[in-house]
Amino acid sequence: MSFILHGIGVSEGIAIGHAHLAAPAALEVAHYLIPKDQIEQEISRLNSAFSTVRKELETLQASITSGPAIDEFSAFLDLHHMILDDPMLSDAANKCIAQSYCNAEWAITQQMDVLLAQFEEIDDAYLRERKIDVIQVVERVLKALLGHPGYVPPPVKHAGDRILVTQDLSPADVMQYKQHQFSAFLTDAGSSTSHTAIVARSLNIPSIVALHHARHLIFENDYLIVDGSQNVVIVNPDKYVLSEYRLRKTQQELEKRKLKRIKSVATMTLDKTPIELYANIELPEDVEQVKESGAAGVGLFRSEFLFLNRDVLPDENEQFEAYREVAVNMRGLPVTIRTFDLGADKSLKGHKQISDNPALGLRAIRLCLAEPQLFHTQLRAILRASHFGQIRILIPMLSNASEIDQTLHLIEYAKQSLRDEKVAFNEKILVGGMVEIPAAALCVDMFIRKLDFLSIGTNDLIQYTLAIDRVDDTVAHLYDPLHPAVMWLVVRIIQAANRAKMPVSICGEMAGDIQFTRLLLGMGLQQFSMYPAQLLTVKHQILQSHLPDIIPLTNKIIKADTPEKIYGLLMKLNK
Ligand code: PEP
Ligand code: MG
């Protein structure tokens, strides 16, 4: 039977292929019977999975040698050790295999259910919540049993024409899927500016999120058409729809190929105003795509992705090599390294989220200032790499003067430590700040006085201005880049920076969306940073834009106060 599902398209393009369903959690396990003569073997399989996890926890413990949260983190690892060693889990699961002849995965999840039921009976809310630790330990054992890290599905033969269908993906999961080369991602949860969507977009494959029931309505191997531009998935299409989409897909690929012709054309508007287009990256290997796009440099290197999916965090040398690789490969073009923006939806492996509102919690620069040793390691690595190219430092989530002062002080401290060791670095390295909290936007003049450049993070600026959680699909319809309050803030940041002759860019998703290109040009923006696959499309729009025509219409849009007026004027602007 053919049917259509609607969601939010987060990465454009058409993919056609077979569905591959990934379990939403490792806890969805198979149940099968073990022949009597293999029971011993099954028990020892489970025991060796326990040993693997024990070793993983020990390695993790050994990697945490400093930092203010060391005690808390150690206590959390001790608790996991205790759960792992508890006979209620291991012995009972072994008994279950011996008595019921069931597979190890099934035995351990059955025993977990018994323990969780006991936790439910506990009165103390804090202790009751420790059931999450039991789940995490069992997940680790399951991963060890299945022989793979994270929720990566078993390798499929022709991943290239496979479409991944899953409940949800964390940014870390998406990074792991990178090597599997699926031709599209479909998730039941998610929203368009979640980090998951951003990473999917950077992979340059069609993706649709917020499908709600895809995981239950689509079966393994169903034939699918994914249209990321029209937000639809067509399940088991008939032959007419299929041939229509094959044609559209070929046409889109042709258009993309044609765009390559403008790669080396200078980026300027029709009235000859030069514009700079930069690329956003997550990992050093993304530089290949950046070069293909003809970008003027890297406008945002989300360095926190180096820290995800890791049992042991990257040390100074490993980080240095990664930053140097990017700087060298970009051959002297600017590379803007954002110091790690961990927290919220990008947490370190094994770190429990203790805040009810992680997006408002210990994230990005707040975490760096709370963990100065981690920050110092990264700053030294970036500074060392600055000797090999044109590296700039970008600080995320700044909200007040004291955070800027502390950050600049720590950068100076890292510089001094290198000077003492006679290690070369760029003394004049530029330090910029992300303007992504309304407080920063409202006090932008203070940011301009203290920093060398600004980058507007519209993804978070919109989230915090409109009080919309960017990862919550139930409020995704309220996430509006054209809300007058958002436009008011963006235009004032750009104008203040332009008045002070301070470089300002936008590195949020708005910069790569061509429906906003002319609006942003009209506001005075001259630097855009976006995912590389979108760069030539934005460039094409810029080459066909004439600022003297755009500015009066932009001024009208900024002053308009109803969505009807705003969208009507925007259509006129983009004609
Ligand atoms: C932003 O907030 O716009 C931004 C670029 O940073 P991130 O999406 O990584 O939070
Ligand atoms: Mg941000």
Range of the domain at 506: 263-546
C-alpha separations of 243 from 206, 230, 246, 355, 539 in Å? 19, 17, 5, 50, 31
CATH code (residue 119): 1.10.274.10
Task: Taking residues 354-358, report their average pLDDT.
Answer: 75
Task: Taking residues 97-105, report their average pLDDT.
Answer: 91
Asked if residue 50 lies in contact with residue 84, where contact means CB atoms within 8 angstroms, the answer is yes
Does some domain include residue 83?
yes
430 φ/ψ angles, rounded to the nearest 5 degrees:
-85, 140
Query: Which of 98, 123, 146 lies at the terminal end of a domain, its last residue?
Result: 146
Tell me the two tokens of residue 52.
Answer: 């693997």
Tell me the two tokens of residue 201.
Answer: 């977009």
pLDDT at 71: 64
C-alpha separations of 265 from 270, 518, 521, 550, 569 in Å? 13, 19, 19, 22, 30
Q: Residue 464, Cβ neighbours under 10 Å: how many? A: 21
Residue 193 shares a structural domain with residue 251: yes
- Sign of the torsion angle spanned by Cα atoms 38, 41, 46, 49: negative
pLDDT at 149: 46
Does some domain include residue 252?
yes
Residue 167 shares a structural domain with residue 88: no
Tens of pLDDT, residues 268-295 = 999 999 999 999 999 999 999 999 999 9
The residue nearest atom 6 of ligand 1, judged by CA position, is: 457
CA 383 – ligand 2 centroid, Å? 22
Residue 287 shares a structural domain with residue 212: no
Site to probe by mutation for ligand 1, drawn from 341, 493, 506 as the one with most ligand atoms within 8 Å of Cβ, is 341
Site to probe by mutation for ligand 1, drawn from 459, 470, 504 as the one with most ligand atoms within 8 Å of Cβ, is 459
Tens of pLDDT, residues 359-402 = 899 999 999 999 999 999 999 999 999 999 999 999 999 999 99
Task: Taking residues 250-256, report their average pLDDT.
Answer: 93
pLDDT at 199: 75
Q: Give the closest residue to 575 by CA, choosing from 512, 525, 534, 515.
A: 515
Residue 417 shares a structural domain with residue 475: yes
CA 452 – ligand 2 centroid, Å? 19
% of the chain with per-residue pLDDT over 90: 65
Question: How, if at all, do strands 223-227 and 527-530 pair?
Answer: unpaired
Residue 410 shares a structural domain with residue 349: yes
Question: Measured at the alpha carbon of residue 521, what is the angle toward residues 517 and 526, in degrees to the nearest 5?
Answer: 110
**Cβ contacts of 403 within 8 Å, gap of 6 or more:** 365, 366, 369
507 assigned to active site: yes
Q: Please state, rounded to an integer, the average pLDDT across all residues of the chain.
A: 89
Residue 479 shares a structural domain with residue 351: yes
Site to probe by mutation for ligand 1, drawn from 302, 365, 461, 520 as the one with most ligand atoms within 8 Å of Cβ, is 302
Which ligand neighbours the alpha carbon of 304 most closely?
Answer: 1
Report the distance separating Cα 328 and Cα 385, nearest Å.
9
Give the residue carrying structure tokens 């040698």. Answer: 65
CATH code (residue 206): 3.50.30.10
Describe the chain by its helix, strand, coil percentages, rounded to 5: 55, 15, 30
- Give the three-class secondary structure for 431: strand
From the CA of 458, give the closest atom in ligand 1. 3
Does some domain include residue 553?
no
Q: Is the CB of 343 under 6 A from ligand 1?
A: no
Q: Is the CB of 459 under 6 A from ligand 1?
A: yes
pLDDT at 24: 46
Tens of pLDDT, residues 175-192 = 667 666 789 999 988 888
- The pLDDT confidence band at residue 193, using thresholds 50, 70 and 90, is confident
pLDDT at 409 exceeding the cut of 80: yes
pLDDT at 491 exceeding the cut of 90: yes
Report the distance separating Cα 276 and Cα 296, nearest Å.
6
Buried b (16+ CB within 10 A) or exposed e, 362-392: bbbbbbbeebbebbbbbbbbbbbbbebbbbb
Give the residue carrying structure tokens 């987060």. Answer: 10
Does some domain include residue 136?
yes
Phi-psi category of 336—alpha, beta or left, where left has phi over 0 and alpha has psi -120 to 50? beta
Catalytic residue from among 20, 195, 376, 540: 195
Query: Which of 94, 111, 146 lies at the terminal end of a domain, its last residue?
Result: 146
Q: Residue 421, Cβ neighbours under 10 Å: how many? A: 8
Site to probe by mutation for ligand 1, drawn from 175, 283, 436 as the one with most ligand atoms within 8 Å of Cβ, is 436
pLDDT at 168: 78
The residue nearest atom 10 of ligand 1, judged by CA position, is: 460
Q: Is the CB of 341 under 6 A from ligand 1?
A: yes
Task: Taking residues 318-324, report their average pLDDT.
Answer: 98
Tell me the two tokens of residue 347.
Answer: 């947490």
Asked if residue 54 lies in contact with residue 311, where contact means CB atoms within 8 angstroms, the answer is no
| Distance in Å from the first CA to the final CA of the chain | 40
Tens of pLDDT, residues 536-569 = 999 999 999 999 999 999 999 999 989 999 999 9
- The pLDDT confidence band at residue 68, using thresholds 50, 70 and 90, is very low
CA 459 – ligand 2 centroid, Å? 6
Report the distance separating Cα 398 and Cα 450, nearest Å.
12
More confident residue, 13 or 22: 13
Residue 173 shares a structural domain with residue 206: yes
CA 197 – ligand 2 centroid, Å? 13
Asked if residue 359 lies in contact with residue 344, where contact means CB atoms within 8 angstroms, the answer is yes
From the CA of 436, give the closest atom in ligand 1. 2
CA 442 – ligand 1 centroid, Å? 18
Helix axes 39-63, 104-120, angle to 10 degrees: 60
From the CA of 195, give the closest atom in ligand 1. 8
Q: Is the CB of 302 under 6 A from ligand 1?
A: yes
Does some domain include residue 565?
no
Does some domain include residue 353?
yes
Residue 218 shares a structural domain with residue 273: no
From the CA of 459, give the closest atom in ligand 1. 3
Tens of pLDDT, residues 329-353 = 999 999 999 999 998 777 776 565 5
Buried b (16+ CB within 10 A) or exposed e, 45-75: bbeebbebbbebbeebeeebeeeebeeebee
Query: Which of 105, 125, 146 lies at the terminal end of a domain, its last residue?
Result: 146
**Cβ contacts of 51 within 8 Å, gap of 6 or more:** none
Residue 100 shares a structural domain with residue 225: no
CA 434 – ligand 1 centroid, Å? 9
pLDDT at 151: 37
Count up the domains in the chain and report the number. Answer: 3
Amino acid at 375: F
Q: Give the closest residue to 302 by CA, choosing from 372, 207, 438, 394.
A: 394
pLDDT at 351: 60
Tell me the two tokens of residue 366.
Answer: 């707040």
Q: Is the CB of 436 under 6 A from ligand 1?
A: yes
Does some domain include residue 570?
no
% of the chain with per-residue pLDDT over 70: 90
Report the distance separating Cα 340 and Cα 346, nearest Å.
10
Q: Is the CB of 458 under 6 A from ligand 1?
A: yes
Tens of pLDDT, residues 150-177 = 333 444 444 568 899 987 777 766 766 7
pLDDT at 348: 74
Residue 269 shares a structural domain with residue 253: no
Tell me the two tokens of residue 88.
Answer: 């209620």
Asked if residue 454 lies in contact with residue 444, where contact means CB atoms within 8 angstroms, the answer is yes
- The pLDDT confidence band at residue 27, using thresholds 50, 70 and 90, is low
Report the distance separating Cα 537 and Cα 511, nearest Å.
11
Residue 183 shares a structural domain with residue 100: no
CA 310 – ligand 1 centroid, Å? 22
pLDDT at 25: 45
Strand order in the sheet with 232-235: 3-6, 232-235, 223-227, 14-21, 162-166, 184-187, 207-209, 8-11
Question: How, if at all, do strands 207-209 and 8-11 pair?
Answer: antiparallel
CA 4 – ligand 2 centroid, Å? 33
pLDDT at 23 exceeding the cut of 70: no
Task: Taking residues 472-485, report their average pLDDT.
Answer: 91
C-alpha separations of 351 from 60, 69, 147, 361 in Å? 11, 11, 22, 14
Maximum CA pair distance of the chain?
Answer: 83
**Cβ contacts of 367 within 8 Å, gap of 6 or more:** 340, 342, 343, 374
Tens of pLDDT, residues 414-466 = 999 999 999 999 999 999 999 999 999 999 999 999 999 999 999 999 999 99
Asked if residue 145 lies in contact with residue 124, where contact means CB atoms within 8 angstroms, the answer is no
Residue 233 shares a structural domain with residue 219: yes
Q: Is the CB of 187 under 6 A from ligand 1?
A: no
96 assigned to active site: no
Helix axes 514-522, 535-543, angle to 10 degrees: 50
Does some domain include residue 564?
no
Q: Is the CB of 508 under 6 A from ligand 1?
A: yes
CATH code (residue 316): 3.20.20.60
Give the residue carrying structure tokens 């729009």. Answer: 541
Tell me the two tokens of residue 250.
Answer: 């070929």
Task: Taking residues 299-324, report their average pLDDT.
Answer: 94
